[in-house]
Amino acid sequence: MAYLFNTAKQQRAMLQTIGVDSISDLFNQVPEQLRLKRPLDLPPPLSEIELEAHLRECAGRNVGGSSRACMQGGGVYDHFIPAVVDEIASRGEFYTAYTPYQAEASQGSLQAFFEYQTLICQLTGMDVSNASLYEGGTSVSEAALMAMRATQRREKIVILGSVHPEYREVVETYLSHLDCEIVVVSTPEGTVDLANVEAALDDRTACLIVQQPNFFGCLEDACRLTDIAHRYGALSVVSFDPISLGLLKRPGDFGADIAVAEGQPLGIPMQYGGPFLGILACRQNFVRQMPGRLIGQTIDRNGERCFVLNLQAREQHIRREKATSNICTNQGLLALRATVYLALLGKVGLKEVAELCCRKAHYAAEQLSTIDGVELMFDRPFFKEFSLRIRNGKLDEVLRNARCDGFDLGPTLRHFQSFATQFGKASEEGVLVAVTEKRTRDDIDRLVRSLRKSVLGL
């Protein structure tokens, strides 16, 4: 068998040392009547050749971003991943290590995660970042729980209707057993009306959750929203797109208390939804309420700087039911990818990427809107993603033809039930389009031709 070492002869020697006759004797704790009396009903084993042939066959029945220009958004984006990110993340010493509990034998991981925490602080303008959570949706949920602990307000949170609908659902699930009201402020114009937010908030509200740019690609007035939240003593939780921070004001700049994100755009492949990277950073005074691991700097016995797991008393393995979260295994390797990505892009590179996305997205939006029956759904500023409205029941055909022509757009708004109420019929006609730095003007022009053809019914 492929991954086993010990030969029959060695097994015999080992059994002798143990003092039993056979391997089955080792299992005498397992009551006979509980034993499975038949082999598991699993497909037969495959050699490496067969396994690879099988996986390639399966992969061949998917159509991915290598064969089509991916202009899909909704929280996951086809940004370029420099080869260096793959190279470093595939170092066995990183990806086959465990959580760095043994500091002396884990300085590599520990320092890398300390660098991650620092980079996230620099990116967001926040004071502290943890060492990762599962992904965007659970990060928003952990932020809500954290806000409730920090404010001691456990009855109500407010969340904008323009936050990723799946993330909103996750928050609902996470809070389902609590007596906590979740007020959703709807955003029929693409962004929220500040007056409606004002109306929803009160002094029982733990936090206001805003996504920037929001799910439709539009820019909320995150700064004013934060001020409003603070006026009611609620925390401002901002879910951001890390790439957008190459251009936009940082959550820390406008006073957010907790900044969370899906880190996928930072050098992580789309891989049909995961594993991704949950980012969570906050202001200094909330550090002991943070969920997840934190790496800290200290010195060793020789006075040399080194890194360790820190403030573990917040965590489940010490605090058990009193822990700030139940998370144990996190997304370390993805945090490493994000670290390398941010290091590689640096001060200038991230700005360039953000500018490219922004310019190309605006070019695409402009060109697409020249088509009769195609228009921007919302008249709002956006960054790299926008909602397109395809009128006259042509949406399906447009998307199908675009796929044939080599473009994947989406998701459609009707994919999410919650939008039917927010937008009515318009939700039947809306689709998200995201434009990353990988797309060329030629891609965009061809997409425009494809849509024009579809709409004109050619």
Ligand X SMILES: Cc1ncc(COP(=O)(O)O)c(C=O)c1O
48 binds a copy of itself per the rule CB under 8 A: yes
Residues in touch with ligand X (CB under 6 A) = 328-329
Q: Using the rule CB under 8 A, which residue among 49, 58, 59, 458 binds a copy of itself?
A: 49
CA distances for 205 relative to 18, 176, 261, 320, angstroms: 62, 17, 22, 27
What, of ligand X, a copy of itself, another protein, none, does residue 172 touch, CB below 5 to 8 Å by kind? another protein
Virtual torsion, Cα 335, 70, 166, 183, nearest 10 deg: 100
- In DSSP terms, 278 is beta-bridged to 133, 262
Smaller CB separation from ligand X, 75 or 292 = 292
Q: Does 82 bind a copy of itself (CB under 8 A)?
A: yes
Q: Which amino acid is at 320?
A: R
CA–CA separation, 270 vs 79, rounded Å? Answer: 9
Least distance from C-beta 405 to another protein, angstroms?
14
Residue 317 CB, nearest distance to ligand X (Å)? 8
Q: Does the footprint of a copy of itself cover residue 1 (CB under 8 A)?
A: no
Give the separation between CA 197 and CA 81, rounded to whole angstroms.
Answer: 38
- By the rule CB under 8 A, 449 interacts with another protein: no
The partner in contact with residue 269, picked from another protein, a copy of itself, ligand X, none with C-beta cut-offs of 5 to 8 angstroms by kind, is another protein
Give the shortest CB-163-to-ligand X separation in angstroms.
Answer: 26
Report the alpha-carbon distance of residue 199 to residue 203 in Å, rounded: 12
- Between the CA of residue 21 and those of 10, 13, 28, what are the distances in Å? 13, 10, 12
Residue 320 or 425 with smaller CB distance to another protein: 320
DSSP-based three-state secondary structure for 103: helix
CB 139, min distance to a copy of itself, A: 29
- Least separation, in Å, of the C-beta of 132 and ligand X? 13
Restricting to residues 52-81, name those near a copy of itself by CB under 8 A.
52-53, 56, 66, 80
For residues 157 and 356, which CB has a smaller minimum distance to a copy of itself in the complex? 356
Interface with another protein, residue 285, by CB under 8 A: no
Q: How far apart are CA 19 and CA 24, in angstroms?
A: 13
Two tokens, residue 119: 């980079």
Q: Which stretch binds a copy of itself (CB under 8 A): 83-91, 110-118, 295-303, 321-329?
A: 83-91
For 255-293, give one letter per residue: b (16+ CB within 10 A) or e: bbbbbbbbbbbbbbbbeeeeebbbbbbbbeebeebbbbb
For 123: left if phi > 0, alpha if psi spans -120 to 50, otherwise beta; the answer is alpha
Task: For residue 92, state whether it binds a copy of itself (rule: CB under 8 A).
Answer: yes
H or E segment to which residue 411 belongs: none
- Name, in order, each residue with C-beta under 8 angstroms of 313's C-beta and a sequence gap of 6 or more: 319
Nearer CB in complex with a copy of itself: 40/83: 83
Of 232 and 333, which CB lies nearer to another protein in the complex structure? 333
Give the Cα separation of 309 and 295 in Å (integer). 5
36 binds, among another protein, a copy of itself, ligand X, none (CB under 5 to 8 A by kind): another protein
Query: Minimal distance in Å, beta carbon 313 to another protein?
Result: 8
How long is the chain?
458
Site string for another protein, 414-433 (x = CB under 8 A): -x------------------
Q: Is residue 370 near another protein by the rule CB under 8 A?
A: no
By CB under 8 A, tell whether 42 contacts another protein: yes
Give the range of 176-184, 257-265, 381-389, 434-442 binding a copy of itself by CB under 8 A.
434-442
Residue 72 interacting partner from another protein, a copy of itself, ligand X, none (CB closer than 5 to 8 Å by kind): another protein
* Residues 322-351 within binding reach of another protein (CB under 8 A): 322-323, 325-336, 339-340, 342-351
Distance of CA 364 to the CA centre of its chain: 25
- Point out which residues pair with 208 in neighbouring strands: 158, 236
385 contact, one of ligand X, a copy of itself, another protein, none, CB 5-8 Å limit per kind: none
Is residue 152 within the footprint of another protein (CB under 8 A)? no
Q: What are the backbone dihedrals phi and psi of residue 156, each rounded to the nearest 5 degrees, phi first?
A: -160, 140
The entry of a copy of itself, another protein, ligand X, none near residue 152 (CB within 5 to 8 angstroms by kind) is: none
Q: One symbol per residue from 74 to 93: x for binding another protein (CB under 8 A), - otherwise; what is it?
A: xxx-x---xxx-xxx-xxxx
Q: Which residues contact 165 (CB under 8 A, 6 or more apart)?
A: 215, 416, 418, 419
Is residue 457 involved in binding another protein (CB under 8 A)? no
Degrees (nearest 5) of the Cα angle 304, 306, 312?
A: 140
Contacts with a copy of itself, residue ranges (CB under 8 A) = 48-49, 52-53, 56, 66, 80, 82-83, 87, 90, 92, 437-438, 440
